[in-house]
């Protein structure tokens, strides 16, 4: 049996998975050293390397399979049926079995080009019931409060596995203890059994390290996140304390880079996080801790369950239709599906490959909480009656090379998915003056924070931004995105004589990468009132020198951090908009 093609198929895939997991763990474990050394550029490179690692290892494993097995065996579904059974047995005692199943699926889909998706031949559903297996490993450390909140914070900070000392531990203990005693629910404050509980693993991302857990007592619990920053040469400091579920959810947002955190038992780790954030989908939590391919698996399973309920149908997404993408939604699932059109509007001079590379760029890049994560699907299949007639007609019209019918099935050769948000242009039509001011402030902050991370959105129109359930403005249209350092920001030259200024054509040369920030106002806002308000809130965005200054900072190697919580929440906030140079 061990020499059969099916067994060799299963064993080769598992060998590839082991190689992937070993390197994944090495990159992740080194996060503590990068934090200790304040090696921020290296941290960014490690993040990109870990994202690219999955496809690299799948490619290497595919090459091994093609060398080790005859093509007839490799492309025979019955061989995969037998291999699936062997593989399920081989991984039955593993703590990361669900990740191993997803890796098997990736190889199956590489061979069969995302066709023949059946549970007989791959793991459409998991091979085992997670609830029936418990590792017995303890992921948390705990301490009773006994009425002393400062002592609890001192324990939380001093017992954390940091190699760098705190700059002023007693100050941080006092600030953290005062916050908890002043903001926790009365039931917890008065509970004789109150305790603090923290995951033993530290969550590293960008310039921050996060201690994550909860405070509970008298049957009540609140999540607890302690963000720790490292100012090189000054030691560590506690930046704030977060105890609201919504605030913690933003820390783990789909708009942010994946955490580097050591995880012994992925399923149990995600279960714990979901207790802190009950509204966060399981797939998003797997992605947040770096297992984005399995996050995609969980997303797909959840989508299938929702579609099977038949509560609603796929419809055309509300808002202005895109020039490059056709967008549809399943309203009850809060997900957007995006398909590249066959033909773009004349103003969009790019190819399908260029658009796909833009999406890959965003996937690899630090999204600084302002760009939505995406999942990419090939040969997505749904029943025809799951689409509204108008939606299906539109997709078949604008993307016939990507969307076609086969019997009663709709086949979509390639699409992206993102979390659904309210388009910013529609959101502004539904709110009052005070809310408009707040959301335009955040819109400008979103542009600045992406720029600080070396991302220029290209097309900054309101329709290309959305508003989340937390009221945050997020960019989600990537077909014109580019690195900020590739742009040539210019001031509009003074006209040499009055007739030039009155001309409908520019009196100056314009290169392909030239950008004139002075022109942003009329381009972004047809509503003069909103335009004036935005200019008042963010005048620097209309100044080419502001953008050039950001470019110099990036070229000089300065890594600019964007905090995943409000600036006013920080114990010692001093920088505008939460940007640190």
Active site residue 545: no
- 213 within 8 A of 277, measured Cβ to Cβ: no
> Under a CB-based contact definition with an 8 Å cutoff, are residues 101 and 127 in contact?
yes
Q: Which is the catalytic residue, given 73, 96, 239, 373?
A: 373
Is 281 among the annotated ligand-binding positions? Answer: no
CB atoms within 10 A of CB 363: 18
**DSSP-derived 3-state class of residue 435:** helix
CA torsion sign for 429, 431, 437, 439 is negative
**The 3-state secondary structure of 67-107, one letter per residue:** HHCCHHHHCCHHHHHHHHHHHHHHCCCCCCHHHHHHHHHHH
Rounded Cα–Cα distance for residues 82 and 79 (Å): 5
CA atoms within 13 A on the CB side of 250: 20
Strand pairing report for 488-489 and 514-515: parallel
CA 279 – CA 285 distance, rounded (Å): 11
Residue 188 three-state SS: helix
CB count, 10 Å around CB of 98?
A: 23
**Residue 512 marked in a binding site:** no
Q: Determine contact, residues 403/391, Cβ cutoff 8 Å.
A: no
DSSP letter for each residue of 451-482: HHTTEE-S---GGGEEE-TTS-EEE---TT-E
Establish whether 320 is an annotated binding residue: yes
Per-residue DSSP letter, 505: S
Using CA atoms, how far residue 92 sits from 11, 101, 130, 367, in Å, is 14, 10, 11, 36
Q: Annotation-wise, does 319 bind a ligand?
A: yes
Which secondary-structure segment (H or E) carries 26? Answer: helix 5-29
* Cα gap 567→345, rounded to integer Å: 40
**Annotated binding residue 326:** no
CA distances to 60, 439, 460, 472, 538 from 443, rounded to whole Å, are: 42, 6, 10, 8, 10
Handedness of CA 36, 41, 43, 49 (dihedral sign): negative
Q: Measure the N-to-C terminal CA separation of the chain; round to a whole number of Å.
A: 60
369 is annotated as contributing to ligand binding: no
| Known binding residues | 317-323, 338
| Known binding residues for ATP | 317-323, 338
Which residues are catalytic, by number? 373
């Amino acid at each position: 049996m061990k020499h059969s093609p099916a067994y060799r198929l299963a064993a080769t895939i598992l060998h590839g998975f082991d190689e992937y997991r070993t390197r994944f763990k090495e990159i992740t474990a080194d996060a503590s050293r990068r934090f200790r050394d304040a090696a921020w550029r290296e941290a960014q490179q490690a993040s990109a390397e870990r994202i690219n690692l999955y496809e690299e290892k799948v490619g290497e494993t595919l090459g091994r399979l093609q060398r080790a097995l005859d093509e007839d065996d490799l492309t025979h579904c019955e061989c995969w049926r037998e291999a699936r059974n062997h593989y399920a047995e081989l991984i039955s005692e593993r703590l990361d079995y669900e990740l191993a199943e997803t890796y098997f699926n990736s190889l199956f889909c590489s061979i069969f080009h995302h066709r023949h998706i059946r549970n007989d031949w791959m793991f459409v559903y998991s091979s085992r019931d997670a609830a029936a297996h418990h590792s017995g490993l303890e992921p948390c450390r705990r301490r009773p409060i006994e009425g002393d909140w400062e002592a609890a914070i001192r324990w939380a900070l001093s017992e954390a596995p940091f190699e760098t000392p705190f700059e002023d531990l007693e100050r941080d203990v006092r600030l953290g203890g005062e916050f908890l005693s002043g903001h926790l629910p009365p039931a917890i404050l008065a509970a004789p059994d109150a305790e603090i509980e923290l995951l033993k693993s530290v969550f590293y991302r960008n310039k921050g390290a996060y201690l994550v857990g909860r405070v509970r007592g008298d049957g009540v619990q609140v999540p607890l996140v302690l963000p720790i920053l490292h100012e090189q040469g000054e030691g560590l400091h506690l930046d704030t304390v977060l105890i609201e579920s919504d605030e913690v959810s933003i820390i783990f947002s789909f708009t942010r880079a994946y955490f580097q955190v050591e995880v012994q038992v992925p399923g149990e780790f995600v279960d714990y996080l979901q207790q802190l954030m009950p509204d966060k989908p399981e797939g998003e939590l797997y992605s947040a801790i770096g297992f984005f391919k399995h996050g995609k698996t969980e997303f797909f399973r959840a989508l299938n369950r929702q579609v099977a309920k038949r509560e609603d149908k796929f419809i055309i997404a509300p808002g202005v239709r895109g020039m490059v993408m056709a967008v549809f939604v399943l309203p009850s699932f809060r997900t957007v599906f995006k398909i590249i059109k066959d033909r773009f509007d004349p103003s969009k001079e790019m190819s399908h490959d260029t658009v796909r590379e833009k999406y890959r760029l965003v996937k690899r890049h630090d999204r600084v909480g302002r760009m939505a994560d995406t999942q990419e699907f090939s040969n997505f299949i749904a029943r025809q009656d799951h689409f509204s007639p108008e939606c299906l007609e539109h997709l078949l019209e604008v993307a016939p090379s990507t969307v076609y019918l086969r019997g009663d099935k709709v086949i979509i050769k390639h699409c992206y998915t993102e979390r659904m948000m309210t388009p910013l242009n529609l959101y502004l039509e539904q709110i009052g003056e005070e809310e408009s001011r707040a959301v335009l402030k955040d819109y400008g902050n979103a542009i600045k924070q992406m720029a600080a991370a070396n991302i220029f959105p290209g097309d900054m129109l309101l329709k290309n931004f959305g508003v989340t359930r937390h009221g945050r403005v997020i960019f989600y249209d990537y077909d014109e995105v580019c690195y900020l350092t590739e742009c040539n920001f210019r001031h509009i030259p003074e006209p040499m004589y009055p007739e030039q200024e009155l001309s409908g054509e520019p009196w100056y040369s314009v290169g392909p990468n030239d950008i004139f920030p002075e022109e942003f106002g009329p381009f972004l806002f047809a509503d003069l009132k909103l335009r004036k308000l935005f200019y008042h809130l963010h005048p620097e965005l209309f100044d080419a020198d502001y953008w050039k200054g950001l470019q110099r900072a990036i070229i000089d190697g300065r890594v600019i951090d964007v905090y995943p919580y409000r600036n006013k929440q920080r114990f010692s906030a001093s920088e505008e908009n939460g940007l640190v140079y």
